[in-house]
Amino acid sequence: MARVFITGSADGLGMMAARLIAADGHRVVLHARNRARGKDAMSRVPGAESLVTGDLSTITGTTQVAEQVNALGKFDAVIHNAAVGYREPNKALTADGLPQVFAVNSLAPYILTCLIAKPARLIYVSSGLHQSGDTSLKDLVWAARPWNGMSAYADSKLHNVLLAFAVARKWPDVLSNALEPGWVATKMGGPGAPDSLEEGPKTQVWLATSNDKDAMVSGKYFYHRKLRKFNPAASDTGVQEQYIAECARISGVVLP
């Protein structure tokens, strides 16, 4: 039996993954932005063990989420699922003055990875859009670039793969992988998304709980439980180190 924490599991693919994990007899801890959403999520995931709440758009809120998770004890896997979409016409800034897309999608997984006690497995939910992310990593917070929500989202999904691969390299005792669930009809994906919604959460569940030899790997990128081509820059250790250093500078949190 595995014990799994999933960020952003109050709805969408995160909730679907939580339901599958609980239905398979594993222990799952949910995360929601606030208590109201969390209470609703707990009622919709039969068998969920408990709930962590906190706003991943701020450095303080993300740190508090990590503290709550650590207070619950050891986890076998953490699925970094929480994300915001790319349809914002304007650059929404957080309390820390960061674009929300970067804060939630990129920086929060980094901070949580740094601060949550090492699980046996780490899973980062990326997107096929990471292929068009900016590999130069210049101006991560869009201070000088004219805002483009789609590009900001693509950048953030590249950041997820960079982080997964950097952790796989730095922490050989942890299985760290990234995946794309496909373009599916969640609230973020929209009703016209062409991929299978049913398949959407299965790869992250498999990576978190399965003992199949194909799941017991690290530094890989998946789509529907199969290896998938990824942006070559993600495996560049120099780019990885540049990204980790920028996250540390922005957040004040250093990767152990």
With respect to residue 109, please indicate whether it lies within any of the assigned structural domains. yes
Active site residue 74: no
With respect to residue 137, please indicate whether it lies within any of the assigned structural domains. yes
How many domains does the chain fold into?
1
With respect to residue 168, please indicate whether it lies within any of the assigned structural domains. yes
With respect to residue 224, please indicate whether it lies within any of the assigned structural domains. yes
With respect to residue 256, please indicate whether it lies within any of the assigned structural domains. no
Active site residue 39: no
Nearest to 20 by CA among 38, 2, 39, 40: 2
Q: What is the structure's pLDDT at 184?
A: 56
With respect to residue 136, please indicate whether it lies within any of the assigned structural domains. yes
Count the Cβ atoms, other than its own, within 10 Å of residue 75. 22
50: three-class secondary structure by DSSP: strand
Assigned token pair, 198: 């049913």
pLDDT tens digits along 23-48: 999 999 999 999 999 999 999 999 99
- Which is catalytic among the residues 86, 153, 221, 243? 153
pLDDT tens digits along 234-247: 999 999 999 999 99
- Which is catalytic among the residues 86, 124, 157, 223? 157
Amino acid of residue 77 = A
Q: What confidence category does residue 200 fall into, taking pLDDT thresholds of 50, 70 and 90?
A: confident
Assign residue 178 the CATH number of its domain.
3.40.50.720
With respect to residue 164, please indicate whether it lies within any of the assigned structural domains. yes
Average pLDDT over residues 167-191: 84
* Structural domain boundaries, residue 177: 3-251
Quick one: CA dihedral 166, 167, 173, 179, positive or negative? negative
With respect to residue 133, please indicate whether it lies within any of the assigned structural domains. yes
Q: Tell me whether residue 143 is exposed, middle or buried, using C-beta atoms within 10 angstroms of its C-beta: 0 to 12, 13 to 18, 19 or more.
A: exposed
Mean pLDDT, all residues of the chain: 95
3-state helix, strand, coil in the chain (%, to 5): 40, 15, 45
